[in-house]
């Protein structure tokens, strides 16, 4: 197995040209000279190993977990049964305890064109201990399946934690490679921050929801064991779970995890002045206590600083509404998806313009976030290869390859970011940067 195995098993589809990764200097930062041969990405066929239905009567499938409260003491477990509703109970126990507990949930179904869903279960497990391994079983009464997860450490300023970053994943052979690279990355991400656009089921006639089910089975191998934190993208018709942050809608919310405060915004819900999302964010940012959670991270789908000729300027209206707040509250980093490539910005802002002064050029700003686009999960729409030229000054590094990233928080002052392209070995860092926290250590990383 591994990269070489999976590449050779589909070598007719994926001809990869490896070019020496020399980096060219332009007006702006670097446009990588790594050139991945552009081939049509294609979805894995329905009978692929990764889509296999688990054996047994009414066996739970598409098992997935996400954070179920604001600080990490609760987990939402979701799964699908197909033969009958069965039980929505989760039995769980901590590694160090024989005492088995139960949580009851609810089951729902939906219909879409001629598609009828299975029985979708959502069960929240609460009052978990921090930093503890738990086993859990679903499928009680028919075909039980057992999984495990590890709760995050208690929220605190110097708690190290490793996040993975994946966007625009889809279910192609490239998607499978991205997930395998994330799983095999020696830096071992503990939670995925997912940047929107999940299954690309809407690529099919009537948005064939069977491709949601295959996607759920495909990612189970990761998301049944570690939470994925969801951002809604333009390809979503099924809503990500609402979390307990008093968000007024399921599409934007916040969580704390270890030393990070994570704000998830919705690029496709209204965000103009007086809208629910605007008012929520206005009240949310002042609540972030950097003594408790030094790292302020924002996730959204449509990037604000994007120098590819795809979705160009689509993030602009949201930037106009919120960028000044991000600078005022010293957001450390903004992760986006949507553009099927990788790009990292300098610390820049463009907040001086007031309709009469003509000051509308992004400038270096040490209070501003770094903007990173990781829409490169590998979906069926293929890579974004066409870039604006010359590379703008705000763009530090860009490359049209599939991959994933890791944001590895060490303590309140330092975090290590790396981006990993699928063509490389698991440990190779194609782009990397030490992040210095904007509140505790606001020095220039680029020096
Ligand atoms: C997907 O990747 C996994 C892990 O590398 C591998 O076992 C599996 O065979 C791959 N499946 C397909 C359809 O590429
Ligand atoms: C949500 O609102 C409730 C009731 O007003 C409050 O008790 C709780 O602390 C709030 N939670 C957060 C995370 O702000
Ligand atoms: C911020 O968090 C610290 C550490 O938990 C706490 O001591 C302090 O009271 C908090 N500040 C506010 C304004 O809540
Ligand atoms: C790249 O995008 C620009 C702007 O949309 C377009 O004019 C140009 O033809 C595109 N180039 C290629 C090679 O597709
Ligand atoms: C924080 O982490 C960085 C990077 O690992 C390290 O160099 C630094 O000494 C740490 N700071 C403290 C106070 O431990
Ligand atoms: Fe998108």
Query: What 8-state DSSP symbol labels residue 153?
Result: P
Quick: pLDDT tens for 147-176.
Answer: 999 999 999 999 999 999 999 999 999 999
Which class for 432: exposed (0-12), middle (13-18), buried (19 or more C-beta within 10 A)?
middle
Say if CB 81 and CB 60 are below 8 A apart: yes
Ligand 2 centroid–CA 246 distance in Å is 6
Ligand 6 centroid–CA 370 distance in Å is 20
Q: What is the CB neighbour count within 10 angstroms for residue 242?
A: 14
SS3 category, 262 = strand
Say which of 64, 235, 311, 404 is annotated catalytic.
311
Q: Any idea what the Cα angle at residue 203 is, between residues 199 and 204, rounded to 5°?
A: 105
Q: What are phi and psi of 11, to 5 degrees?
A: -65, -25
Which portions of the chain are predicted below pLDDT 70?
A: 1-27, 237-249
Strand partners, 47: none
CA distances from residue 33 to 18, 30, 172, 305 in whole angstroms, order as listed = 10, 9, 25, 21
Question: Residue 113: its pLDDT value, please?
Answer: 87
Quick: pLDDT tens for 91-143.
Answer: 999 999 989 999 999 999 998 889 999 999 999 999 999 999 999 999 999 99
Closest residue CA from atom 4 of ligand 1: 180
Cβ contacts of 273 within 8 Å, gap of 6 or more: 321
Question: Residue 238: its pLDDT value, please?
Answer: 44
> Is the CB of 179 inside a 6 Å radius of any atom of ligand 1?
no
% the chain with pLDDT above 90: 85
User: What is the spatial distance between Cα 52 and Cα 176, in angstroms, rounded to a whole number?
Assistant: 14
Instruction: Work out whether the CA dihedral 340, 343, 347, 353 comes out positive or negative.
Output: negative
Q: Does 30-436 carry CATH code 3.30.1360.10?
A: no
Say if CB 58 and CB 139 are below 8 A apart: yes
Question: Residue 83: its pLDDT value, please?
Answer: 98
SS3 category, 328 = helix
Which is it for strands 161-166 and 191-194: parallel, antiparallel or unpaired? parallel
Question: Residue 99: its pLDDT value, please?
Answer: 96
Question: Residue 206: its pLDDT value, please?
Answer: 87
Closest residue CA from atom 9 of ligand 4: 386
Residue-averaged pLDDT of the chain: 91
> Is the CB of 63 inside a 6 Å radius of any atom of ligand 1?
no
Which is it for strands 111-112 and 106-108: parallel, antiparallel or unpaired? unpaired
User: What is the spatial distance between Cα 5 and Cα 54, in angstroms, rounded to a whole number?
Assistant: 24
Ligand at shortest distance from the CA of 373:
6
Query: What 8-state DSSP symbol labels residue 260?
Result: E
User: What is the spatial distance between Cα 419 and Cα 405, in angstroms, rounded to a whole number?
Assistant: 4
Say if CB 72 and CB 191 are below 8 A apart: no
């Amino acid at each position: 197995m591994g990269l070489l195995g999976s590449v050779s098993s589909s070598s007719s589809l994926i001809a990869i040209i490896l070019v020496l990764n020399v980096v060219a200097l332009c007006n702006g930062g670097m446009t990588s000279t790594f050139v991945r041969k552009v081939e049509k990405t294609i979805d894995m066929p329905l009978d692929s190993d990764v889509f296999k239905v688990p054996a047994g009567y009414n066996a739970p499938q598409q098992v997935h977990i996400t954070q179920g409260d604001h600080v990490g003491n609760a987990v939402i477990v979701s799964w699908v049964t197909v033969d009958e509703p069965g039980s929505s109970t989760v039995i769980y126990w901590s590694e160090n305890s024989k005492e088995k507990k139960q949580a009851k949930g609810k089951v729902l179904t939906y219909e879409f064109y001629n598609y009828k869903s299975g029985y979708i279960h959502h069960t929240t497990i609460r009052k978990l201990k921090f930093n503890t391994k738990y086993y859990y079983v679903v499928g009680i009464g028919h075909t039980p399946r057992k999984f495990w997860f590890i709760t995050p450490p208690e929220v605190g300023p110097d708690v190290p934690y490793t996040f993975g970053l994946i966007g625009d994943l889809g279910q192609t052979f490239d998607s499978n490679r991205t997930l395998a690279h994330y799983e095999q990355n020696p830096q071992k991400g503990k939670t995925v921050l997912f940047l929107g656009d999940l299954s690309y089921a809407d690529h099919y006639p009537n948005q064939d929801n069977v491709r949601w089910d295959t996607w759920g089975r495909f990612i189970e191998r990761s998301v049944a064991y570690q939470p994925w934190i969801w951002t809604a993208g333009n390809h979503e018709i099924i809503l990500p779970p609402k979390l307990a942050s008093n968000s007024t809608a399921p599409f934007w919310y916040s969580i704390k995890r270890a030393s990070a405060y994570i704000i998830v915004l919705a690029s496709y819900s209204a965000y103009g002045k007086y809208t629910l999302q605007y008012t929520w964010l206005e009240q949310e940012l002042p609540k972030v206590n950097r003594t408790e959670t030094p790292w302020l991270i924002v996730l959204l789908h449509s990037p604000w600083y994007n120098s590819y000729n795809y979705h160009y300027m689509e993030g602009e209206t949201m930037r106009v509404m919120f960028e000044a707040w991000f600078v005022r509250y010293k957001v450390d980093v903004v992760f986006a998806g949507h553009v099927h490539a990788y790009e990292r910005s300098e610390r820049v802002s463009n907040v001086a313009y007031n309709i009469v002064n003509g000051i509308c050029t992004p400038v270096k700003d040490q209070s501003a976030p770094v903007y990173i686009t990781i829409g490169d999960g590998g979906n069926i729409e293929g890579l974004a290869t066409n870039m604006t030229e010359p590379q703008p000054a705000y763009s530090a590094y860009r490359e049209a390859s599939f991959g994933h990233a890791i944001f590895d928080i060490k303590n309140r002052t330092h975090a290590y970011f790396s981006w990993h392209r699928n063509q490389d070995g698991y440990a190779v860092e194609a782009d990397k940067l030490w992040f210095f926290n904007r509140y505790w250590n606001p020095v220039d990383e680029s020096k």
